[in-house]
């Protein structure tokens, strides 16, 4: 009894997906962000991984003031945008930590917090940044998530609640796509591990609930009775001229 011949279309799809999962220099996360900044797009699954890049706080040039309130508005806004451009989408806790360190203050009292909230809200209202709950970022940073290795961050910053949903969604999608099929717990565990988070705790499982729902709703992932598979939309590219 002869074996069923391979389907040429299936083979072509596999080749296509392999090429997408191994991007060239013009298909990195940064390249797609630059493209989407110019042309606009909604979601791009990116396939490169990079270390988490921390802001060089001395470059923010906020030091030399006795009070945080003495920092000129233009300087504070410029520093806030620099943190967003380096680490966005960035959690408010991390953003505050960077600004405090740059200004030479150890703690964020209520007045300092209020001022950071005010400037963040104003920059959001101006359209300079996009706000999503506790996260601040450029529009293209939300549309094009980058997968970062958080391993080397200090424990106070390396917290799952500081990771944007879009990045967690991306890690789930890539983990499943690269494996082909995975049960839910393995997908969650491996997605966290590749980002530098060691254990799938109950809290971590709860934290991944929204990103997983997002991936399923967008058909980036497909859920069977016992496993997850990549959806076709995981491999789509935006309808632009490309990076």
Q: 59-62: long-range contacts at Cβ-Cβ below 8 A with a sequence spacing of 24 or more?
A: 60/98, 60/99, 60/102, 61/102, 62/99, 62/102, 62/103, 62/104
3-class DSSP assignment, residue 29: helix
Q: What is the pLDDT of residue 13?
A: 46
Q: Do 229 and 158 share a structural domain?
A: yes
Q: Do 137 and 66 share a structural domain?
A: yes
Percent of the chain residues topping a pLDDT of 70: 88
Cβ proximity of 102 and 61 under 8 Å: yes
Q: What is the pLDDT of residues 7-63, one digit of tens each?
A: 554 443 454 455 456 666 678 999 999 999 998 888 999 999 999 999 999 999 999
Q: What is the pLDDT of residue 6?
A: 56
Q: Across all residues in the chain, what is the average pLDDT?
A: 90
Domain termination residue (choose one: 143, 174, 193): 143
Edge-to-edge strand list for the sheet holding 90-91: 90-91, 135-137, 130-132
Q: Which two tokens stand for residue 65?
A: 């003031």
Q: Do 164 and 136 share a structural domain?
A: no
Name the residue range of residue 95's domain: 57-143
Q: How far apart are CA 133 and CA 184, in angstroms?
A: 27
Q: What is the pLDDT of residues 169-224, one digit of tens each?
A: 999 999 999 999 999 999 999 999 999 998 899 999 999 999 999 999 999 999 98
Beta bridge partners of 229: 222
Q: What is the pLDDT of residues 78-87, one digit of tens each?
A: 999 999 999 9
């Amino acid at each position: 009894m002869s074996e069923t011949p391979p389907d040429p279309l299936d083979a072509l799809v596999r080749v296509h997906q392999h090429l997408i999962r191994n991007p060239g220099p013009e298909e990195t996360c940064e390249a797609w962000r630059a493209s989407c900044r110019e042309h606009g797009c909604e979601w791009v699954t990116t396939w490169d991984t990079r270390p988490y890049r921390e802001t060089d706080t001395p470059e923010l040039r906020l030091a030399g003031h006795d009070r945080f309130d003495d920092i000129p508005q233009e300087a504070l806004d410029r520093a806030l945008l620099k943190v967003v451009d380096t680490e966005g989408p960035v959690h408010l806790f991390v953003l505050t930590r960077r600004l405090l360190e740059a200004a030479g203050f150890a703690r964020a009292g209520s007045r300092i917090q209020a001022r950071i909230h005010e400037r963040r809200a104003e920059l959001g209202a101006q359209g300079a940044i996009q706000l999503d709950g506790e996260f601040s970022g450029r529009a293209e940073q939300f549309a094009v998530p980058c997968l970062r290795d958080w391993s080397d961050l200090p424990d106070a910053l390396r917290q799952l609640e500081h990771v944007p949903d879009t990045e967690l969604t991306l890690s789930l999608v890539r983990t499943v796509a690269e494996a082909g099929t995975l049960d839910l717990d393995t997908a969650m565990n491996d997605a966290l591990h590749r980002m530098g988070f060691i254990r799938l705790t109950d809290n971590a499982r709860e934290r991944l609930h929204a990103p997983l729902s997002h991936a399923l709703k967008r058909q980036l992932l497909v859920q069977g009775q016992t496993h997850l598979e990549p959806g076709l939309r995981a491999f789509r590219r935006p309808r632009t001229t490309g990076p």
